Amino acid sequence: MSASPSTTAPPAAKGAGARPAPGDRGAAKRRSPISRRGERLVGYTFMTPWIIGSIVFTVGPMLWSLYLSFTDYHLILGGEFIGLDNYTAMFADPMFARAVKVTLVYVLLAVPLKLVASLLVAMLLTQSRRGIGFYRAAFYMPSLIAMSVGIAIVWKALFSTGGPQDQFMSWFGWDGGGFIGNPDVSIIMLVLLSVWTFGAPMVIFMAGLLQVPGELYEAAEVDGAGKWHRFVHITIPMLSPVIFFNVLMETVHAFQLFGPAFIIGGTAGGPAWSTLFYTVRIYALAFVDLRMGYASAWAWMLVLAVGVVTLIMFRAAKNLVYYAGEDNK
């Protein structure tokens, strides 16, 4: 792959159908007007699927659902404009309070636990020892299957009364039975499932860790810094862009958990609404109760919440994230 412009025609220009050569060899300008127009044309042509798709299936629906959120549209009975009634109803709706609580608890538990786990394992796996490739693959594997329906079904069995979790915890005096029947702790099932997918952020952490220059650690060691000190003052700051990325993506995804929550808790978020996730409730409202106007309001509330959280994170990142090679605090 030679990087130098050559005077011999590269193989790319061989063959029929080549565009008429616009540029002069050795022309001072990098792009001629014809080429620029051509570039624009190609650009739009290549973007055509996306443009169509975005209008019809992304931006269009977004605007439509915003409109729907101000109506009482019912899938069969139709609907009409009702202003902010959906939003006021939401705040009086006990199911809303419940769904928000369940989802928030999940996000606040699952995301930190998952990231801590993935960082720890990533640090363990960034050494070059024999067989490290095997370990990396093995630890990554669960994240591929964890969010599948099959594993969610398995999870229900693992956490049923008399099952592995129950028996294991009984040795330590647990008498609450299987998590699946116990509304006080049932959310832990889903938190653990989320932690089980630590593989993906782990790999990203690994890549980030490998980019930390070794000299920093050596210099610190020479200066007498201990392991913990090196971790806090070198590893974490150097990793902060990666940490930020992972925290952001994991949080955004955690708010949208659907599949496993649906399989484990059903549309009623059982037992006793303890696993009633926000997205599951949206599904139930839209496709079971057919109250699509109301469900749209719920969906937009989720957009707002995620938007706010994202903004806060970006704001915090300005102060907390250290980009090597830039001016920092």
Show contacts with other proteins in window 52-81 (CB under 8 A). 52-54, 56-62, 64-65, 68, 72, 74-77
Residue in 102, 119, 242, 243 binding other proteins, rule: CB under 8 A? 242
Q: Smallest distance from the beta carbon of 212 to other proteins, in angstroms?
A: 12
Is residue 10 involved in binding other proteins (CB under 8 A)?
A: yes
Is residue 229 involved in binding other proteins (CB under 8 A)?
A: no
Choose the binding region for other proteins from 16-24, 107-115, 226-234, 315-323 (rule: CB under 8 A).
Answer: 16-24
Distance CA 30, CA 24 (A): 10
Selection from 95, 186, 87, 197 nearest residue 139 by Cα:
197
87 SS3 class: helix
Beta strands in 117-261 (DSSP E): none
Q: Phi and psi of 71, rounded to 5°? A: -125, 170
Choose the binding region for other proteins from 152-160, 213-221, 223-231, 320-328 (rule: CB under 8 A).
Answer: 152-160
What residues numbered 283-302 form the site for other proteins, per CB under 8 A? 283, 286-292, 295-296, 299-300, 302
Distance of CA 77 to the CA centre of its chain: 36
Nearer to other proteins by Cβ, of 63 and 232: the residue is: 63
Nearer to other proteins by Cβ, of 94 and 224: the residue is: 94
Is residue 99 involved in binding other proteins (CB under 8 A)?
A: no
Distance CA 35, CA 301 (A): 46
Cβ atoms of residues 302 and 278 within 8 Å: yes
274 SS3 class: coil
Alpha carbon separation from 136 to 95, 121, 122, 245, 246 (Å, rounded): 42, 9, 9, 21, 18
Is residue 255 involved in binding other proteins (CB under 8 A)?
A: yes
Structure tokens at 157: 């069995």
Is residue 218 involved in binding other proteins (CB under 8 A)?
A: no
Residue in 111, 158, 189, 191 binding other proteins, rule: CB under 8 A? 158
Distance of CA 293 to the CA centre of its chain: 27
Is residue 157 involved in binding other proteins (CB under 8 A)?
A: yes
Residue in 33, 83, 150, 226 binding other proteins, rule: CB under 8 A? 150
Nearer to other proteins by Cβ, of 9 and 232: the residue is: 9
Nearer to other proteins by Cβ, of 214 and 224: the residue is: 214
